[in-house]
Structure 1
Amino acid sequence: MTYLLLFVSLPFEPIVFGVKLNMHLILEYLAFFIGFRYYVFLRKKSTDVISPNNRLSIIIGAIFGALLLSRLVAFFENPIAHIAQDLLYNLNNKTIMGGLFGGLLGVELAKKVISEKHSSGDLFTLPIILGIIIGRIGCFWAGIKEFTYGKETSFFTGMDLGDGLSRHPIALYEVVFLTFLFIIIRRIQKTDLNLKNGDLFKLFMVTYFSLRFCIEFIKPNSFYFLGLSSIQILCLICLVYYHKFILRGITYVRKKLYLL
């Protein structure tokens, strides 16, 4: 897989039986399908404290929250340019960051409506990470047709993403980061760290949004507010939202270092 990712000509649009395949779109749908099947598999293996009806309500809340905010945040990536586009274009324009945070807000709203007190995120964590990995492979194969490419660079990781320039392959950076995060979370699940329910999902959100905040500095963004892109502003909002978890993590690490 690594060999195929690195040496394929971008954008990768193979022709099968005379039809040019949109690999980005195919892998995007595949990400949803595999992610959901993996969630179903994990739920069958685990003891879910949330009832099936409440879990369904939470999933519906996540879907609607993700649909709304993913498009809203994508619009604010460059609102001046998007205003000039038609409604259908803007409805199709979306970002995973808005989807994740919108899904989070949708879940919290749904839980309040159904009076569900238990944390629901941990069961979704690994399926979400797996889905993003698959989706980002599709983004990479799309080359410069998908706005997940980086600025020009002379760094050794620079690649020709389809325009003849050496650019940061941001989608691949995310694939590598999320693969390691997936492995780490799997190992954490097998250790006795006395984690609270929901901590694994919070760990994913904090680390991934921190990564994306940093990555935005090497993307060729054209619209900024207060010197930051809309994605970076959303990342900061997310980190503020999880500030108690972050402070608890810092305190835990300090105690461990003190014992050493």
Structure 2
Amino acid sequence: MPIHFPVTFDFFGNEVLLHPVLESVGIFLAMRMYYFLKRKTKDKTTLVDSLSILVGATAGALFGSKLIGNLENPTAILSPDFTFIKFWTSNTIVGGLAFGLIGVEIAKKIIGSKKSTGDLMVFPLITAMCIGRIGCFFTGVYEETYGLPTDSIFGMYLGDQYLRHPVALYEIAFLIVLGFVIFRLQKAKEYVSGFLFQFFMLNYFLFRFFLDFIKPHEKFLFDLGTIQIVSLLMIFYYIYKIKNSLIQMKNSNRYYG
């Protein structure tokens, strides 16, 4: 049975897009998962500090997702038809992750915290992103989360006359595999605090950098889109962070071994 994009459902006589509903469900489940995991750890971060970091992450992610989402199509910003509504409805998870990190670091500076807080967020993030990408897939070509036309066996009709790369499904598959790898790393318990989050972020930004070559985007610099440029910056940052974490692990093993 063919899918009619975008997928909607009837809610008391109103037609509602499935995508924002799934995004909300993903965020809710991710928050519940985070607090469940936090209760299972020996983390002594106070409630006030945790909330401060959460506010910083949320504010940074909200601002960054919309800023980078709009910069992905810079000519539209200069158009006389550009409105606040258009700004508000343009989003990208790449901007959310990058600026969410900045928001967390600012919040930690304000409250004087030097603890790494990222590891507990890995699986909640993967959960929220997978559920959100299901919503992206069911929106088809009516949102800028679809792939270029393709003749490969993976091509799908997403609401127009072309067989396209179902990039949302590619991302879900990647996140599931990445989650499994991180789960195995977590079981080993031979890492410093923050390493799992760094590993997740490095691999996700690497994936997004290459994925965007098969997505329609406006070339911004060196034939790269804005999302790819942000991804490159984050790749360099997390290579540096992981290098430092590996040095710490090596020194720790040397000390105890």
Q: Aligned residue for 1:183?
A: 180
Q: 1:33 aligns with which of 28, 34, 40?
A: 28
- Give the equivalent residue in structure 1 for 2:145: 148
1:36–1:224 distance in 2 versus 1, CA, 3 Å: same
Match of 1:116 in 2: 113
Structure-to-structure mapping, 1:39-188, within 5 angstroms = 39-84=34-79, 85-188=82-185
1:217 aligned to 2:213? Answer: yes
Q: Are the equivalent residues in 1 in contact too, given 2:202–2:239 (CA < 8 A)?
A: no
Q: How far apart are residue 18 of structure 1 and its match?
A: 4.1
Give unmatched runs, 5+ long, in structure 1: 1-5, 252-260
Unaligned runs of 5+ in 2: 248-257
Matched residue, 1:201:
197
Q: Contact (CA 8 Å) 1:50, 1:120: kept in 2 or not? A: no
Deviations 1:183-228 (A, max 9, x none): 2222221123x20100111111000000000011001113422211
The whole-number CA distance in structure 1 between the counterparts of 2:2 and 2:30 is 26
Query: How big is each residue's C-alpha offset from its partner over 1:59-117, in whole Å with a ceiling of 9 and x where there is no partner?
Result: 11101111111111111101111332111211221111100111001101111111101
SS for the counterpart of 2:105 is helix
Give the length in aligned residue pairs: 246
- Say whether the 8 Å CA contact 1:49–1:118 is kept in structure 2: no
Secondary structure of 1:40 counterpart? helix
Structure 2 CA distance for partners of 1:171 and 1:249, relative to 1, 3 Å: farther
TM-score, L = length of structure 1:
0.89
Normalization by structure 2: what TM-score? 0.90
Structure 1 counterpart of 2:9: 14
| Partner AA of 1:21 in structure 2 | V
What residue identity is the alignment partner of 2:197? F
Counterpart of 1:187, as a letter, is R
Q: Which amino acid aligns with 2:234?
A: C
How far 1:246 moved relative to its partner?
4.5
